[in-house]
Amino acid sequence: MSAEFTTDQIDAGRRLFGGPSLFMLGVAKLEQLPEVKGVEIAFAGRSNVGKSSLINALTGVKDLARASNTPGRTRELNFFNIADRLTLVDMPGYGYAKASKKEVKQWQAVLRGYLRGRPGLTRAFVLIDSRHGVLDADRETFELLNESAVAFQLVLTKTDKIKPAELDKVKAETEAEAKKQAAAFPLIHATSSDKGWGLPELRARIADLL
């Protein structure tokens, strides 16, 4: 257990994600957005960063979030109900868009509208592949979150795929990137969906937002 969290906080996270987790709906247009109900958090990240795997690992529900067979093809905000206490929003992967410029522009307008106009959106978690670190596509998302005044936090994924020394380096570099961003928290979560590393702490962080 991380020294950063108490036993009670870890337990609160376990209880939250131990409840039922259900897919609610996919939204492609702003007028389809569901009514805000309590705390809402969003997960963002590049295509193939491991977003679906992390959501499934956090909730313990296999295939709750389904990855598209073709990276960059998912064009919906997917809403999930976590134990009737939290709404989790899976944002489409970015940086690998197999779409026309017109489609990309339309979708970016939906994202901007969601981020700027969603009163219940408490925090965004931006996932970073630990093997690659922060890339330009991530920085564009940081800027969008800064402009939208949405508080966000960076989460390293796939940390079991690199050596401990490499992880220390990428974690320090990612923390330095976070400190440059107006809306970012400097604390980084390092996770592995396959190994379960960092998941109790991330659940505790999310439960704290309630």
| CATH code of the domain covering residue 92 | 3.40.50.300
Instruction: Give the torsion through C-alpha atoms of 171, 175, 1, 198, to 10 deg.
Output: -60
In-domain check, residue 54: yes
1 assigned to some structural domain: no
Helix, strand, coil shares of the chain, percent, nearest 5, are 40, 20, 40
Residue 3 has pLDDT above 80, yes or no: no
User: What Cα–Cα distance (Å) separates residue 17 from each residue in 22, 31, 92, 107?
Assistant: 11, 29, 22, 30
Look at residue 70 and tell me whether its pLDDT is greater than 80.
Answer: no
63: exposed, middle or buried (Cβ count in 10 Å: 0-12, 13-18, 19+): exposed
Question: Is residue 89 in a domain?
Answer: yes
Q: Could you read off the pLDDT of 10-64 as tens digits, one per residue?
A: 999 999 999 999 999 999 999 999 999 889 999 999 989 999 999 999 999 998 9
**108 in a structural domain:** yes
In-domain check, residue 166: yes
* pLDDT at site 2: 52
- State the pLDDT confidence band at 95, using cuts at 50, 70 and 90: confident
Task: Compute the average pLDDT of residues 109-115.
Answer: 89
The whole domain housing 108 covers 7-208
Whole-angstrom distance, CA of residue 5 vs CA of residue 135: 29
pLDDT attached to residue 135: 96
Q: Domain count of the chain?
A: 1
Coil, helix or strand at residue 196: coil
> Is the residue at 198 inside a domain?
yes
**Residue 29 · residue 89 · CB < 8 Å:** no
In 35-190, at which residue ranges do the beta strands (DSSP E only) sit?
A: 39-45, 77-82, 86-90, 121-129, 152-157, 189-190
Distance of CA 134 to the CA centre of its chain: 14
- In a domain, residue 151? The reply is yes
Question: In the predicted model, what is the mean pLDDT of the chain?
Answer: 91
Has residue 151 got a pLDDT over 60? Answer: yes
